[in-house]
């Protein structure tokens, strides 16, 4: 069995995993930094990179221990080196290089967004290509054509906020806390989508996405139209003024509009491209309504839709190790000169 050690540090999760033959997850350690960023209502890059420095080697050690292997048993080291927060990425890249050099093991640089689309492979699903890839996460909302897992063309993406970012901002407007996706999901399950919110469309035929208009419509719906007072915009209302049921109804209305926007883009791409399946990944795939609607897409288009297990939706290193295995076994290997980049194939 070929064992790959994966390392992930692109945003605020410090993660390491050992995966056998691309799909057998032997260990999957994720150290979340949520509590460090909570008071700021979003990821603070400097805090994130400092926390990665403290956590990276303990997390790698735990991944090796939980996999019940020795570092020497590893065949190659894969690291997410793009896209993401540059200071965060550099910590994982430096750790991976140090391990590759000291152990004399091959190093493989992995695009984090493309790796999200490896997540369904971790459930041992057999995926047929060409496939249409849908990545919906905190930093990205992209539609990708995959000739194979590594030959990728971006055919659509968000022109403003990412879907996960919109969920996070909606939760802030509704004063549900951060990170917001799961909180909106929970509130929506107790509410009804009684408010008509827009499903913003972009100009042209490309299946691009836009979420900032939806977020603003929610803001004005919840807090009313702002008025200028002493040159400042002041909202007449606050989410505090709403009952629990009213908050839940707004959450359900927002969630339905956001999920419809994602599904509309996907249907546009499916109508204009010939593919054998849909493969999806990213934190927002944990959303219950999105998962239900993607199953409906499978029936409407008579196409297989591969979804990741919820553990592998949000950032993790098993997807990095799994995709690293694909690259490694297809002759791909990087030098110790690799660096990190804030941009990737789909951004």
CA–CA dist 161, 155 (Å, integer): 17
Tokens at 294, concatenated: 């993607």
Contact between 185 and ligand KG4 per CB under 6 A: yes
Minimum distance of ligand KG4 from residue 315's CB (angstroms): 4
Contact between 164 and ligand KG4 per CB under 6 A: yes
Closer by beta carbon to ligand KG4, 63 or else 119: 119
Per partner kind, with CB cut-offs from 5 to 8 A, the member of ligand KG4, Zn ion, none near residue 156 is none
CA–CA dist 307, 291 (Å, integer): 8
Contact between 7 and ligand KG4 per CB under 6 A: no
Task: Give the number of residues in contact with ligand KG4, rule: CB under 6 A.
Answer: 20
Among 92, 139, 207, 322, binds ligand KG4 (CB under 6 A): 139
CA–CA dist 346, 145 (Å, integer): 11
Contact between 137 and Zn ion per CB under 5 A: yes
Contact between 311 and ligand KG4 per CB under 6 A: no
Among 6, 181, 265, 322, binds ligand KG4 (CB under 6 A): 181
Binding mask 258-297 for ligand KG4 (x = CB under 6 A): ------------------------xxx-xx----------
Nearest to 17 by CA among 311, 333, 342, 298: 311
CA–CA dist 291, 196 (Å, integer): 22
Contact between 182 and ligand KG4 per CB under 6 A: yes
Residue pair 149/129 in contact by the 8 Å Cβ criterion: yes
Contact between 347 and Zn ion per CB under 5 A: no
Among 315, 319, 322, 327, binds Zn ion (CB under 5 A): 315
Minimum distance of ligand KG4 from residue 23's CB (angstroms): 19
DSSP per position, 153-202: EEEEEBSSS-HHHHHHHHHHHTT--SS-HHHHHHHHTTS---S-------
Residue 254: partners with Cβ closer than 8 Å, 6 or more residues away: 170, 174, 184, 188, 197, 214, 218
Give contact residues for Zn ion (rule: CB under 5 A). 137, 315
């Amino acid at each position: 069995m070929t064992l790959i050690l994966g390392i992930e540090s692109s945003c605020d999760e410090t993660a390491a995993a050992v995966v056998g033959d691309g799909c057998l997850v032997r260990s999957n350690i994720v150290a979340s930094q949520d509590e460090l960023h909570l008071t700021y209502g979003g990821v603070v890059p400097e805090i994130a990179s400092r926390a990665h420095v403290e956590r990276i080697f303990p997390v790698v050690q735990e991944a090796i221990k939980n996999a019940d292997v020795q570092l020497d048993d590893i065949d190659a080291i894969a690291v997410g080196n793009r896209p993401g927060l540059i200071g965060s990425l550099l910590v994982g890249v430096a750790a991976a290089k140090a391990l590759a050099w000291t152990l004399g093991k091959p190093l493989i640089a992995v695009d984090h967004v493309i790796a999200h689309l490896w997540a369904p492979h971790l459930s041992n699903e057999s995926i047929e290509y060409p496939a249409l890839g849908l990545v919906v996460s905190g930093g990205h909302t992209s539609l990708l054509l995959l000739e194979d897992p590594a030959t990728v063309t971006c055919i659509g993406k968000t022109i403003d906020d990412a879907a996960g970012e919109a969920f996070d901002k909606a939760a802030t407007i509704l004063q549900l806390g951060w990170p917001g996706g799961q909180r909106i999901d929970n509130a929506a399950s107790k509410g009804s989508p009684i408010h008509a919110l827009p499903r913003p469309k972009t100009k042209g035929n490309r299946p691009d996405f836009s979420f900032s208009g939806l977020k603003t419509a929610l803001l004005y719906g919840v807090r009313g139209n702002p008025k200028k007072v002493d040159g400042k915009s002041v909202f007449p209302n606050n989410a505090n003024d709403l009952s629990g049921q009213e908050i839940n109804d707004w959450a359900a209305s927002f969630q339905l509009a956001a999920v419809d926007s994602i599904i509309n883009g996907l249907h546009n791409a499916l109508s204009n491209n010939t593919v054998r399946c849909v493969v999806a990944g990213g934190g927002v795939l944990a959303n219950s309504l999105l998962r239900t609607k993607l199953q409906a897409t499978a029936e409407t288009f008579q196409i297989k839709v591969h979804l990741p297990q919820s553990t592998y939706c949000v950032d993790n290193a098993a997807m990095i190790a799994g995709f690293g295995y694909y690259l490694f076994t297809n002759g791909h290997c990087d030098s110790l000169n690799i660096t990190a980049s804030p941009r990737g194939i789909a951004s």
